[in-house]
Copies of this chain bind each other. A is one copy, B any other.
Amino acid sequence: MQTATPLHPTRATPRIAIVGAGLAGAACARTLASSGAQVTLFDKSRGIGGRLSTRRTVWTDALGVEQPVQFDHGAVGFEAHSLAFQAVVQQGLADGWIAHWAAAGGDHFVAVPGMPALCHALIGSLDVHVHTGEPVTGLHRIRGGWQIERNSGLWPGRFDQVVLALPPAQAAPLLRPHATGWSEAAAQVPMQACWTLMAVTDTPPGPAFDLLQPTRGPLASIVRNDRKPGRQTTPGHAVWVAQASAAWSASHLEDHPAGVSKALRDALRAAINPGGEVRWCHSTVHRWLYARPARVPLGTPGCWWDAARGLGVCGDFLVGAHAEAAFLSGLDMAHAVLSAPATRRTAGSGAARFART
């Protein structure tokens, strides 16, 4: 649907706030803005993308030269099984912001130059207002609409609808004053944590690989990040993103990062140079508290939507443990908002009755 500017004077442009600018929020924003809604996207992080994230930093080599490096430390890639997401991927392949990642023979993709490029592209050409760097701390009902509160105060202006596209544990406190049942349900959604190691080493001996999935030990997956398409490379060096298993992450959830880093580096070394040594040029760890849903019960709706109040919730936790699930939930959310009555029906007018009976 093309972007349409409201022309008829009695049609006020609906103002919609989306809290959370991950893939669910971006997909929802794209569809709503494409239909002429005025969308404002809030995110607590510095940039958008959520778990489609790429961390950029530098490390200092043996000659004292700073080397840029990037780590896709959230979702390592994505697949596209639905027509809707395939259409996005195909557009991205054509435009160059998605590349095929031949990691393990399947149809896997990454965004280029970094994972957030997918969310940027989704809303790129649309008039979506994006406000990052500060969490939303409260939702307030006001004159049939909503106000958004952040630490810096109330956001000026009223929204007709609010969509929460957050991990459920973060949506729960915002929902509590308005939808107790939803708040409790969101708080109880089981999400798995994920300790993630980002490291630069000398290139290990042996054949290069893109992806390794150890069957024992703390690590569930090891990705050669610099072998993904469109990523920076440094000759003689290898860039790694290694994710701990859900079980290991859970049992070490509150460990000190230094201890976690040591354990994950040991596991990475054992995997990439068994019996040998590894020279560490750079390493750090990140803890995802809400990496992925542990399970999605059958029959779960693709989003939650209260048309009367104009309040919705979406996210991968309602669809599945993969990036496309977030996209589909965001699309479902937008579809629910777009299909709901947006204006009061003029049931008293003759022609309205005429058109209906």
B93–A8 touching, CB < 8 Å: yes
B1–A338 touching, CB < 8 Å: no
A10–B107 touching, CB < 8 Å: yes
- Those of A45-69 within 8 Å (CB) of chain B: none
A221–B354 touching, CB < 8 Å: yes
Partner of A321, one of B79, B89, B221, B356: B356
B104–A350 touching, CB < 8 Å: yes
The reply on A18 being an interface residue by CB < 8 A is no
Interface stretch of the complex, out of A145-153, A197-205, A256-264, A339-347: A339-347
- C-alpha spacing A105/B84, complex, angstroms: 40
A342–B81 touching, CB < 8 Å: yes
Residues of B within 8 A of A34 (CB): 1, 87
- C-alpha spacing A337/B328, complex, angstroms: 12
Residues of B within 8 A of A91 (CB): 1-2, 4
B83–A338 touching, CB < 8 Å: yes
Partner of A35, one of B87, B94, B104, B105: B87
The reply on A7 being an interface residue by CB < 8 A is yes
- C-alpha spacing A340/B77, complex, angstroms: 20
- Those of A72-119 within 8 Å (CB) of chain B: 75-79, 81-84, 86-91, 93-94, 100, 103-108
Residues of B within 8 A of A287 (CB): none
Task: With CB as the reference atom, state the residue of chain B lying closest to A105.
Answer: B349
- Those of A311-351 within 8 Å (CB) of chain B: 320-323, 328, 331-332, 335, 337-343, 345-346, 349-351
Task: With CB as the reference atom, state the residue of chain B lying closest to A292.
Answer: B357
A339–B302 touching, CB < 8 Å: yes
- By size class, the interface of chain A is 35 or more
A346–B107 touching, CB < 8 Å: yes
B349–A339 touching, CB < 8 Å: no
Residues of B within 8 A of A107 (CB): 8, 10-11, 343, 346
B1–A87 touching, CB < 8 Å: yes
B5–A103 touching, CB < 8 Å: no
The reply on A187 being an interface residue by CB < 8 A is no
Copies in the complex: 2
- C-alpha spacing A350/B339, complex, angstroms: 39
- C-alpha spacing A11/B81, complex, angstroms: 10
A79–B328 touching, CB < 8 Å: no
Using known A-B contacts A83-B342, A86-B342, A322-B355, determine if residue A94 contacts B331 with beta carbons closer than 8 Å: no
Most chain B C-beta atoms within 10 Å of own C-beta, residue among A81, A213, A221, A337: A81
Using known A-B contacts A107-B8, A339-B331, determine if residue A84 contacts B35 with beta carbons closer than 8 Å: yes
Residues of B within 8 A of A79 (CB): 345, 352, 355
Give me 10 A-to-B residue pairs in the complex whose CB atoms sit less than 8 angstroms apart, sorted by A's number.
Answer: A1-B84, A1-B88, A1-B91, A11-B86, A14-B83, A34-B87, A36-B87, A81-B342, A84-B338, A322-B355
5 nearest CB pairs, A to B: A104-B351, A84-B338, A35-B87, A106-B349, A4-B90
Binding site for B on A (CB under 8 A): 1-2, 4-8, 10-11, 14, 30-32, 34-37, 75-79, 81-84, 86-91, 93-94, 100, 103-108, 211, 213, 220-221, 302, 320-323, 328, 331-332, 335, 337-343, 345-346, 349-357
Given contacts A104-B351, A107-B346, 18 further A-B contacts (CB under 8 A): A1-B84, A8-B93, A8-B100, A8-B107, A32-B83, A75-B355, A76-B354, A76-B355, A79-B352, A83-B342, A84-B338, A104-B354, A105-B349, A105-B351, A213-B353, A213-B354, A321-B356, A328-B339
